[in-house]
Amino acid sequence: MGGELVLVTGGSGFLGAHCILALLKAGYRVRTTVRAARREADVIAMLKAGGGEPGDRLSFAIADLMSDAGWPDAVAGCDYVLHVASPFPPGVPKHQDDLIIPAREGALRVLRAARDADVKRVVLTSSFAAIGYGKMPPGGRSFTEESWTDPTAKVSAYVKSKTLAERAAWDFIAAEGGKLELAVVNPVGIFGPVLGSDHSTSTEFVQRMMNGAMPGLPHLSFGVVDARDVADLHVRAMTNPAASGERFLAVAGDFMTVREIAQTVKTRLGAAASRVTTRELPDWLVRVVGLFNAEAAQLVTELGKVKNATNAKAVRMLGWAPRSREDALAATAESLVRLGLVKTPK
């Protein structure tokens, strides 16, 4: 195993860095793409924060999802590719195509380059967003990998972009993938140890809670999973023969309400979480705010919906064993305090 080379796209991102750490720990050599050479130092700093010393087992390639340039060099000589990079803006794009086109075209660029370079398998990071929006599963059961989001339903640009990008990837493999294999990981909200100031939308949510920037909580629920476990699932899906052609939900347990998340952070962090509120906002108020605030507007269609998803397939087929939701949330909050990213209460 020691000699195999894996390309990780988007190594300067929260999940990308955790994937690099998991691969280095498992003995792989890693190449990662960054959009500009100046980001290389950021990646090294994040890996160090995560306890990794890459030494000469990590190399870099410059490539951008919006351009063909650089991708043939990035995949050259690689055995596997983890395509983790994808646009996920904190705000709302002016036009949905600003998200959809880079997500879909980026996935196809990576798959095309991987096929041409005789890569064995690509593991694509999709999302629960490509599974759990549109129709609820029959009988109110949990969402599974059989479920697909309906992109024609009233869904956000992000949800639509993830759905269309994953569909395009499967269509590409079926029509022109050649010998290239594809596996897909569909995570819910990704939490866990933050490795630097560049982190995910989910961890930013905990940061805002701890900084007292959320005076009240919307009546929403979502899934929780630790980035370290999502990275582990990518590595398992990369090498397990049975994973080819399959998608895997990455979720640590039942979905939690925003209030349960806040309560967990308060309980586990004590004084450091004294600014976290557990007060719920009435739905009508969130709807009113949504008329003036594009981010709040994205939440309105999900208010009060109770969803769930199961990790049974990943556990059964790949032996995946994620840490608890509470541990994932506590790890997020503790790392934010450690990195000085939350104001310490007076």
**Distance, CA of 196 to CA of 42 (rounded, Å):** 8
Look up tokens 């541990």; give the residue: 327
Question: Is there a catalytic annotation at residue 266?
Answer: no
How many Cα atoms are found within 13 Å in the side-chain-facing hemisphere of 66?
Answer: 8
Active-site residue identified among 25, 94, 160, 162: 162
Task: Give the full edge-to-edge strand order of the sheet including 181-187.
Answer: 58-62, 29-34, 5-9, 80-83, 121-125, 181-187, 247-250
- 178 neighbors 115 (Cβ within 8 angstroms): yes
Query: What is the phi/psi pair of residue 62, to 5°?
Result: -95, 120
To which H or E segment does residue 226 belong? strand 224-226
Residue partners of 55: CB distance under 8 A and separation at least 6: none
The two beta strands, 256-257 and 221-222, are: antiparallel
Measure the CA angle with vertex 248, ends 171 and 33; round to 5°.
70
Tokens (6 digits) for 187: 């995570």
Distance of CA 149 to the CA centre of its chain: 17
Encoded tokens for 159: 């949800």
Known catalytic residues? 162
